[in-house]
Chains A and B, each alone.
Chain A
């Protein structure tokens, strides 16, 4: 009932002129000479930002440093000091205790699988809703958008029961399906808001050339979606890579455990935890995503920025 209300969320943007291309950002601010007052302001600004960044990042630095501490250094140690003695034992124990590589592979499979589904299904639905259109498209879109606000927890009990009936429990698919389905509304929302901006004239021109809906999708809509695809994939990858709740509910065997579950392995009997080894494991498991993130950082930020301003 409330979901249709969502759609006008974009309407204020509609009355505005299209965003100028990013390259048109006025340059030259740096060239102007700065007055002393401005210079002081700049310094304060820079210091503030540096402080904020430190607050934001220090916990991660600390995590990294701790993974090289000895257990006793950690237990009694000073959080700001460098490790009194650097050790790689934590990493050795991390690999010995858990099955980190397997966890990483599982997380990759789930993330890739769900991402493909999210993108393909999201584009198809948005294309049907925005471009092809049909009588009740508003209703169907509202139904999809409803999913943005449905908490994932509601699916746990029913899906568990359904999976056990059809033998899907404890498979990669059991994680991929709900992860993709719950990300789908946001994906449809992003693709739809983007498709609204593709001018109707482009489609009409293609139609005159004799292209049907499939060819238009393949030749116009899909290629134009590249930026949005990147946004959808990268944002969702973060959530999927780190999903705990579905994995914890549907995965039973060690062979299928993803990274978050793998990390739970380090909690021993009765809650005993080998902290330094756990921190080492965290560092190892963060690495793949971190690398992808650093490599695609630019694309992701651009995608997010353009996706967001269009949305």
Chain B
């Protein structure tokens, strides 16, 4: 095992950029043993395999059974999937809600982050302070955030939001935000959006300040408006970071769970039920592990598709 493998790249003496060399050579090192690859690769792969890959396979397996955890498993073939796709209206409601939740989170996290980050780059002082303060909500436990927002949305006793409405003279807009089927989805999405805006803002801010100032100055001298500068110079420059943050925010939102679960438990009715909360309930409240596994398989597929779509959309624009 200790034999030394020399890669094709070594023979060629001229220095190459690692990137261009990549398709030809697999290693950056001139000499490395197979053993060393295993030494570095196996422990992480083991951890990942045991806690992520194996459960996925187990879920696939469980999803063709009906099992309550205590009596014998019954093989039902694809009935769980058939039930999910054809007979279960809650599933489709939850799916729709998950998309709504995703949309609101993305607008708040990415849109909000982009706006604040842009403003921040123009702020003359106290940027560090703003950044720090802005990140604060991210460090607070979702349990605490749920408790907090329950009080903020409350109508009886009058919570923070309804007090603000009264204060600015909009008493007639006061509402029990978490009880109204029309507002509850937004109400449970906002805390999730709120807590991570700071994180994405920081990432985007860092990308924005890396945009060479000379480019912007030159464009301004050519008479470009603020918007043109932003759209033509800044945004293309930060697009790679934008794709990364979009994928992060999307996948986090699609597996969002804690806040809806703790704040409304999916209610009223199924108005704030997400696929994740529904799957959790199916498994741990209804003890229907087979059906829950089918739903979680669907969630994995949904995430894969979403990432694929993001990619197609953002890539195509990049190519044009």
Contacts and interface: CB of A to CB of B under 8 A. Distances in A.
B97 to A, nearest CB: 15
B254 A132 contact: no
Interface string A6-30: 1011111110100110000110011
A177 interface: yes
Nearest to A289: B139
B300 A157 contact: no
Nearest to B299: A151
Given A13-B240, A196-B19, A297-B132, A157 B292 contact: yes
B51 interface: yes
Contact of B159 (A5, A79, A199, A249): A79
A294 B48 contact: no
Contact of B44 (A5, A29, A121): A121
B20 to A, nearest CB: 10
A101 interface: no
A12 B318 contact: yes
B84 to A, nearest CB: 15
B175 interface: no
Contacts of A282: 140-141, 144, 147-148
B227 interface: no
B186 interface: no
Interface string A246-258: 0001000000000
A220 to B, nearest CB: 10
A308 B203 contact: yes
Interface stretch (B35-43, B85-93, B177-185): B35-43
A91 interface: no
B47 A117 contact: yes
Interface string A32-49: 000000000010011011
Contact-residue bracket for chain B: 35 or more
For the residues of B in contact with A, the DSSP-based class is helix
Interface in A293-311: 293-294, 297-298, 301, 304-306, 308-309, 311
B16 interface: yes
A242 interface: yes
Given A149-B303, A157-B283, A199-B18, A245 B258 contact: yes
A204 B245 CA distance: 34
23 contacts: A2-B305, A12-B240, A16-B237, A49-B119, A122-B44, A129-B41, A131-B27, A157-B62, A158-B59, A180-B51, A181-B51, A198-B18, A213-B29, A213-B32, A242-B142, A245-B280, A275-B151, A290-B139, A294-B132, A301-B131, A301-B132, A304-B199, A308-B207
Enumerate the 8 nearest inter-chain pairs by beta-carbon distance, A residue then B residue, closest first: A305-B206, A181-B51, A133-B26, A151-B255, A158-B58, A133-B27, A125-B44, A158-B55
Given A153-B257, A158-B55, A260-B142, 16 more contacts: A2-B304, A26-B213, A56-B194, A62-B148, A125-B41, A132-B28, A132-B40, A134-B37, A143-B53, A149-B247, A158-B54, A186-B248, A203-B30, A207-B31, A309-B210, A309-B241
